[in-house]
Amino acid sequence: MSLHFILGRAGSGKTRYCLQEIRKELLAAPQGPAIILLVPEQATFQMEKALVNLPGLQGSIRCQVLSFQRLAWRVSQEVGGAARPSLSDLAKHMLLRRLLKRRAKHLKILHLGAWHQPGFIHELASTLKEFKYYCLSPSKLREAAASLDLKGTHELLAVKLHDLALIWEDMEKTLEGNTHFAEDYLEILASNLLKAPSLKEAEIWLDGFSSFTPQEYKVLEGLLKAARRVHITLCMNAQDLEASLSEGDPFYPPKETFKKLQNLAVRLNVPVEPMTVLDQGIPPRFAEVPILAWVEKNFFTPFASPWPQEVVNLKIFSSSNRRAEVETVAREILYLSRTKGYRWRDIAIMVRNLELYQSLLVNVLRDYEIPFFLDVKRPITHHPLVKLICTALETVSQNWAYEPLFRLLKTDLLPLSREEVDVLENYVLACGIQGSRWLDSQPWTYQPRWALENEKETLEINLLKNKVVALLGDFHRALRQAQSVQEITLALYELLLKLKVPEKLEEWRLKAMENGQWEEAQEHAQIWETIIEILEQLVDILGEERIDLQEYQQIIMAALEGELLGLIPQGLDQVLVISLDRSRLPEVRAAFLLGVNEGIFPARPLALGFLKDEEREYLLEKGWEVGPSSRRRLLEEQHLVYLALTRSREFLGISYALADEEGNALRPSPIIARLKALLPQLKEIPSIPEPITHPRPLLSQLAINLSKLKSGADLEPVWLEVYNWARSHPLYKEILAKIIRGLFYSNQEPPLPKDIAYALYGDPLKTTVSRLEEFKKCPFSHFLKYGLKLKERQRYQLLPPDLGEFFHTALKELAVALRKQHKDWKDLELASCQKLCQDVVEKLLPKFQNEIFFSTARYRYLTHKLIGIIQRTAAVLVEQAKWTSFRTVGSEVTFGSGETLPGLRLVLPQGELLEIYGRIDRLDAVQEGDNFWIRIIDYKSRPVNFKLVDFYWGLELQLLTYLEVVLTYGHLLLGGPCLPAAVLYFPVINPLIKLDEPPTTWEGKEEVVAELEEELIKKFKMKGLLVADLKALKLMDHHLPGPSPFLPVAFNKDGSFNSRSPVLSLEQFTLLRQYLRKLLGEIAQEILEGNIELSPYRKGSYIPCKYCPYQPVCGFDPLLPGNRYRFLPELKIPELWEAISYHLESDKALKR
């Protein structure tokens, strides 16, 4: 038994010394006692590679490179106990969540609901793990809590220790006899070391450690007792070893370790051999670059003399932001590779906070085609298999709700194509299908549209539905019957096998390998075993525990969120990207240290776990060491700075950013100022883009220079050469073409070829007036909606157009019911009218959108409002009918081929035909002599006014188009010539009236009630255009020439029409008809000529884009070149008539 220290500063050759000594032993006695080289877990691969590359060694069974954990497994195999499983972090998270819920009433602080918060369980598990590392136990925590003042300043600390001890005891009782904590492997190892025959006479070498936990010290104690010799390297100077420790010393952690090991040897009566000190002049690592040796020796030395010579092989880069910082490093790596002959494996990138740089490093290094290995574990929560597990459980727990079910179907792990899933999803959304409807054995007969229009069963949808139910039905039934963790887990496992998940993952792995996506291939290879391990541990720990599905989801989600996958390098020649605090720092030829900013490196230590720094310090003073405080970790941070500055043997690059991603200023780390003080001639290199380093960034810079052409600048000759090179290069000419298209992109669409326009819209062009209005709003919107037939996904909800359709149908059904009873509106009494309305609405409700009105409480309440609106509207219609000679000729009068009236046909200027079809909500007429006055009424679900200026611009053509159809073909229906009496909008509403006194005071005040009825009727006053013929208007409303509650007309004292009355002479109606035909023909001609411009109108402050569903498609932006609104000015009435007359006269002149 003996202890041997090998001391030396960085680069002095400590690792080389160990390897050479081991080599001598192996060459001298290949079959001798065991030699074990203990290194940190992350360094085992590097050290094994270094060992087998030693000259004269082809391999050895005598020497093994092990970590503490692997040594524990090896010893357990030798002495027994390896079969007992350990509790992984995942299992610990599951168990903790369960115990916290069970113990809620007994906990004093951990019961407050925080354990539901993300990260809480992980934090609690980390605290208990730390306690394990420091050889604490529940009894020791209770002892520590008992020693505190429960009513003083440390009451909260005592409560924390009480709760932690209680949960810890519960965990140990749950695991007793079955398994043990993963952190216990060191405790078990320490107790088994003296029992292991292979360790007797063994030589133990430890390299790469700067400090140890109390558990590891126990193992070292056992090794000192069991082994023949223990050699340990420590990175520190060998001076002043007897002096007290100084917190400013970068070697504080290894020196502290040195003293503890010395004391341990004294306590065990283990002789300490003479130390091997390797600090002899310039360390071998820096022999060829003295400046790096100077930095190593003097960086932490106060009052060190500055480096007097020129600075070479050390650079400081300042960059405008972190992306520019990474790009600078990438260019330097290419420079070293191309001009200095560096291999990728000779270079390392070191970062203190990898989260800040990970995505940037991945993207930039790929752009520069630099192979790299990112030494970091990946979370698994993004993987489709994890999403499948979570959504499958959620689907059952939420009774087949839409959201979790379709997230499950979109994992691509079910035998449904994405197209099939989309078809099914659209149908389900439109019909509002969820819950028990999925498990109904009857075929679905729901229709996305009105059941009145289409009741045909969709075979394809039912086939897909049956496929989904066949895949998930057994799982659903099993979970409904499952009561324990084991039963739920078994059902989940059987689902994964039924879906053939292992085969699918293997298929994905092979495909990823074919595409060179090595990391993705590794994820697919590892994820199945990881998931199976989680499920097995669930059963091992909580197997017979009765649990509901929601709690099971919480437990497994906590487990999945905490799991990480470790990947191995896919090649030997790669740049190594490491996090300074998580990875073994290898010796390399060139090292780049990124993110050397204040607060980032050295990092500001943050309090870890449930104990604050002051609580840790207080417990340490009382003799209870519970883990390092922030102060202690700051000392370790200093040592980390030392290690980072001494990793490279030829070149060191240090960089920092001046701003973060949001533009906030960043300050350089004190490391930068210290280096500048030591190296006065060190010039900071600003990050200036050097594009001609690699084709991809070169093309990015080319794009920037080409963009200057748009402002009239000339292209420099060098960029012209780059352009010509890229245009002729087989790999980059397509990228250049995309750049050109992007730079000179104009957000406009050229006209469609005529043959395509005819194919889309037809010849003759058969359309509706609303489609023509849509074209005048924006030609591109018309093209998307009616040419490409793009439409928004239908959802199971009521929108304003749906209510409008309901009102139209209800009023039509009322009219049909009256005709069947051979009655007119005026014949109805109020009570019978209300009863008829209620009957009609109740008959329609079940047929509307798959019974949507019965789907929720909100919609059920809406039915009462709908009945009220229809009843109020019908009451007004009854009142109007009593005061008019006009009678309804038809409700929802259709016109078009084979309809009640022919469609409106026009011959276009170039000979094409236009046929307009549609439906008139209501047509009223009255006969006067041989002629029929006609009135067009269009129902609206809100008050709407007709604006002549909107008709002029082609935005409101509906009423006058309906009028034109009836004036042209009405004789076929009425048997005589027709004259225009009115075109009107009728509001289908249930208005509110502001009361001056409550209804309870109305008794005996019939005049008040009558006034309110009159006021209500006025709210239904129709808006539109009327004929300037008093006789015809009297036939329309017998109140005239008095005030009319129904029509928008008023008279002056002399009997003439008020100037605000929208009345037109028959001649003016004729002008509007002529202008209408001109407008319709022009619009149709533009459609057939393929006009699909992005040119929405703007009228005042209104723009149709605000409510347009196609904004994501068109990308219209008035700031883009070519995107401009069509400004439509407001015109006064005289200006409108002048403009209409001018256009008509111009047409006549052209035809002459």
Q: Does 174 have pLDDT greater than 60?
A: yes
> b/e string for 52-73 if b means 16 or more Cβ within 10 A?
eeeeebeebebbbbbbbebbbe
Q: How far is CA 46 from the centre of its chain?
A: 38
Instruction: Please tell me the distance from the alpha carbon of residue 486 to that of residue 963, in angstroms, as a whole number.
Output: 74
Q: Give the pLDDT confidence score for residue 125 in this predicted structure.
A: 84
Q: Give the pLDDT confidence score for residue 82 in this predicted structure.
A: 57
**Which has more pLDDT, 429 or 990?**
429
Q: How far is CA 542 from the centre of its chain?
A: 34
Average pLDDT over residues 720-739: 85
**Residues β-bridged to residue 924:** 888, 935
Average pLDDT over residues 428-449: 81
The two beta strands, 86-87 and 180-181, are parallel
Q: Give the pLDDT confidence score for residue 775 in this predicted structure.
A: 96
pLDDT over 90 percentage in the chain = 38
Q: Does 157 have pLDDT greater than 70?
A: yes
CB 803, CB 940: distance < 8 Å: no
Instruction: Please tell me the distance from the alpha carbon of residue 687 to that of residue 685, in angstroms, as a whole number.
Output: 6
Q: How many CA atoms lie within 13 A of 1144 on its CB side?
A: 16
Mean pLDDT of the chain: 86
The structure's pTM equals 0.77
Residue 907: which H helix or E strand, with range?
strand 904-907
What would the CATH number be for the domain defined by 290-377+570-686?
A: 3.40.50.300
Q: Does 952 have pLDDT greater than 50?
A: yes
Tens-place pLDDT, residues 470-516: 999 999 999 999 989 899 999 999 999 999 999 999 999 999 888 87
Listed in sequence order, the residues at least 6 apart from 1068 whose beta carbon sits closer than 8 Å to its beta carbon are 1028, 1137
Q: Give the pLDDT confidence score for residue 247 in this predicted structure.
A: 75
Q: Does 691 have pLDDT greater than 90?
A: no
Q: Give the pLDDT confidence score for residue 1008 in this predicted structure.
A: 53
Instruction: Please tell me the distance from the alpha carbon of residue 778 to that of residue 726, in angstroms, as a whole number.
Output: 39
Tens-place pLDDT, residues 267-297: 999 999 999 998 777 888 888 899 999 998 8
Q: Does 791 have pLDDT greater than 70?
A: yes
Tens-place pLDDT, residues 562-584: 677 677 777 778 899 988 887 66
Check residue 752 and report its DSSP letter.
P
Short-list 787, 792, 791, 841, CA closest to 1086? 787
Instruction: Please tell me the distance from the alpha carbon of residue 278 to that of residue 164, in angstroms, as a whole number.
Output: 46
Q: Give the pLDDT confidence score for residue 284 in this predicted structure.
A: 87
**Residues β-bridged to residue 685:** 317
Q: Report the range of poorest mean pLDDT among 81-85, 131-135, 354-358, 593-597.
A: 81-85
> Most confidently modeled of 180-194, 437-451, 708-722, 960-974?
960-974
Tens-place pLDDT, residues 977-1002: 999 999 999 998 877 666 555 555 55
Tens-place pLDDT, residues 924-939: 999 999 999 999 999 9
Tokens coding 545: 């525990």
Q: Strands (DSSP E) along 737-886, which ranges?
A: 765-767
Short-list 490, 499, 502, 496, CA closest to 552? 490
Short-list 66, 415, 324, 350, CA closest to 219? 66
Average pLDDT over residues 534-549: 83
Instruction: Please tell me the distance from the alpha carbon of residue 382 to that of residue 386, in angstroms, as a whole number.
Output: 7
Tens-place pLDDT, residues 234-264: 998 887 777 777 777 888 899 999 999 999 9
Listed in sequence order, the residues at least 6 apart from 174 whose beta carbon sits closer than 8 Å to its beta carbon are 95, 99, 541
Q: Does 109 have pLDDT greater than 90?
A: no
Average pLDDT over residues 826-851: 82
Confidence of residue 454 (pLDDT cuts 50, 70, 90): very low
**Residues β-bridged to residue 723:** none
Order of strands, edge to edge, in the sheet holding 588-594? 372-374, 575-579, 347-351, 588-594, 648-657, 314-319, 684-686
> Most confidently modeled of 137-141, 186-190, 897-901?
897-901
**Which has more pLDDT, 105 or 972?**
972
Quickly tell me which residue has 């002008």 as its tokens. 1071
CB 1118, CB 807: distance < 8 Å: no
Instruction: Please tell me the distance from the alpha carbon of residue 876 to that of residue 870, in angstroms, as a whole number.
Output: 10
Instruction: Please tell me the distance from the alpha carbon of residue 501 to that of residue 507, in angstroms, as a whole number.
Output: 10
Average pLDDT over residues 1074-1081: 95
Q: Report the range of poorest mean pLDDT among 98-107, 378-387, 952-961, 1076-1085.
A: 98-107
CA distances from 101 to 111, 112, 114, 162 (A): 8, 11, 11, 16
Tokens coding 50: 């270094």
**Burial class (CB within 10 angstroms; exposed 0-12, middle 13-18, buried 19+) of 728:** exposed
Q: Does 450 have pLDDT greater than 50?
A: no
Instruction: Please tell me the distance from the alpha carbon of residue 381 to that of residue 97, in angstroms, as a whole number.
Output: 19
Show the DSSP H helices in 847-957 as ranges: 857-882, 948-952
Q: Give the pLDDT confidence score for residue 4 in this predicted structure.
A: 95
Confidence of residue 781 (pLDDT cuts 50, 70, 90): very high
**Which has more pLDDT, 621 or 291?**
291
Identity of residue 338: R
Q: How far is CA 624 from the centre of its chain?
A: 46
Average pLDDT over residues 48-56: 84
Q: Give the pLDDT confidence score for residue 423 in this predicted structure.
A: 87
**Residues β-bridged to residue 277:** 7
For domain 3-84+185-280, the CATH class is alpha beta
Listed in sequence order, the residues at least 6 apart from 692 whose beta carbon sits closer than 8 Å to its beta carbon are 698, 722
Check residue 845 and report its DSSP letter.
G
1114 annotated binding-site participant: yes
Q: Report the range of poorest mean pLDDT among 31-35, 144-148, 779-783.
A: 144-148
Tokens coding 24: 């001598």
Listed in sequence order, the residues at least 6 apart from 891 whose beta carbon sits closer than 8 Å to its beta carbon are 811, 812, 815, 816, 921, 922, 923
pLDDT over 70 percentage in the chain = 93
Measured from the Cβ of residue 720, the count of other Cβ atoms closer than 10 Å reads 13
Q: Is the dihedral of CA 491, 497, 498, 501 positive or negative?
A: positive
Short-list 365, 375, 291, CA closest to 329? 365
The two beta strands, 588-594 and 347-351, are parallel
For domain 379-565, the CATH class is mainly alpha
**Which has more pLDDT, 616 or 472?**
472
Tens-place pLDDT, residues 997-1023: 555 555 555 565 566 677 778 888 999
Q: How far is CA 415 from the centre of its chain?
A: 25
Average pLDDT over residues 536-556: 83
63 annotated binding-site participant: no
Q: Give the pLDDT confidence score for residue 1032 in this predicted structure.
A: 94
